[in-house]
Amino acid sequence: MGETLDLERALVVGVASSALFDLAESDAVFREKGEEEYRAYQREHLNDVLAPGVAFPLYTAPPGPQRPVGDRAPRRGHHPLA
């Protein structure tokens, strides 16, 4: 299996789903129509592929010199949900 990541020496970055994916439309439904309509919207669009958001390129960037060999993050051109 791949290398083990030493979390004591790693930079760990959390990224919100709203930065990874463009959630503007669903956010507008929530803000303008309320939680019940938002939940219905979410159910209706459950299988939709989300468009990339502003932080998506960070997640799909090619591996750098410090990225572990066994990293399972998708590579450029591979959508994580496809």
Q: Could you report the per-residue pLDDT of 53-73, keeping only the tens digit for each?
A: 998 888 777 666 555 545 555
Which residues are registered as beta bridge partners of 21?
Answer: 52
Helices (H), the chain: 17-20, 24-33, 35-44, 56-59
Residue segments in the chain with a per-residue pLDDT below the cut of 50: 69, 78-82
Q: 45 and 26 in contact (C-beta within 8 Å)?
A: yes
Q: Kindly report whether the global pTM for this prediction surpasses the value 0.85.
A: no
Give the model's pLDDT for residue 26. Answer: 95
